[in-house]
Amino acid sequence: MSLLEVKNLTLRFGGLTAVDDVSFTVDNNSITGLIGQNGAGKTTVFNLLTYVYQPNSGQVFLDGQEMKGKKPHQAVAQGLTRTFQNIRLFRNMPVIDNVKVGCLRQGKYSVPSGVFRLPSFWREEKETHKKAMELLEVFELESYADHYAGSLPYGQQRKLEICRALATNPRILLLDEPAAGMNPSETEELMSTIDKIRKHFMIAVLLIEHDMKLVMGICEKIVVLNYGRVIAEGSPEEIKNNEEVITAYLGSEV
């Protein structure tokens, strides 16, 4: 059984069909690419998967359990978390605190314990700090722990955003154009980072990306959207040689 299964997902905004009968799967511990031209419906699919929008029809299953009618924070609780096209860090907070925010979902201390700084609060704070530092070490960001997030270079901010998402203990990580704004060397480093995430955390990754070198280099499967519909799904080699995809999106030189 696939970890994530999307069945006949459809979303309309008035007379505009943004996502049209979309179906695809994401296997556990895999890297899947979701590609298409601007306006193809890729980010809208992410918004449907994370409850920002509710579909007009269709179903989404995570590990066989239907995801329906909930709120974005509940998607995180179910093990599905995301990053965004535009970096959304707490820029005026230290790097370590940005990661700790992602750890809060696992918080178990009570409100009185937090207000009065009881021993249970400090025990959990110590555990949270340790976990956050371990995550930063995975991404080689530990030396920036006390720096303000907004002071980091662009590529490091991208890594920090992914690090914070992983602090929620996801089962599947959605990356929305993670290479946007990166130079070639930063993109190469990102490819290595995404592969490291899959191997280190043993989770699935679903990514939207326009950088075809990145997509073809790390994805085992690619899903292609065009005007809200899936026009192809397969391995990088199959997608690269699909005539409909070439016509609609890739171009003859890929």
Strands (E) in the chain, as ranges, are: 4-13, 16-26, 31-35, 57-62, 65-66, 80-82, 172-176, 204-208, 221-226, 229-234
pTM: 0.89
What is the per-residue pLDDT for 124? 81
pLDDT given for residue 103 in this prediction? 86
- pLDDT score for 85: 87
Domains of the chain, first to last: 1-79+170-254 (3.40.50.300), 89-168 (no CATH)
- Extract the residue ranges of the chain whose pLDDT is less than 70: 1, 105-118, 121-122, 250-254
pLDDT at 104: 77
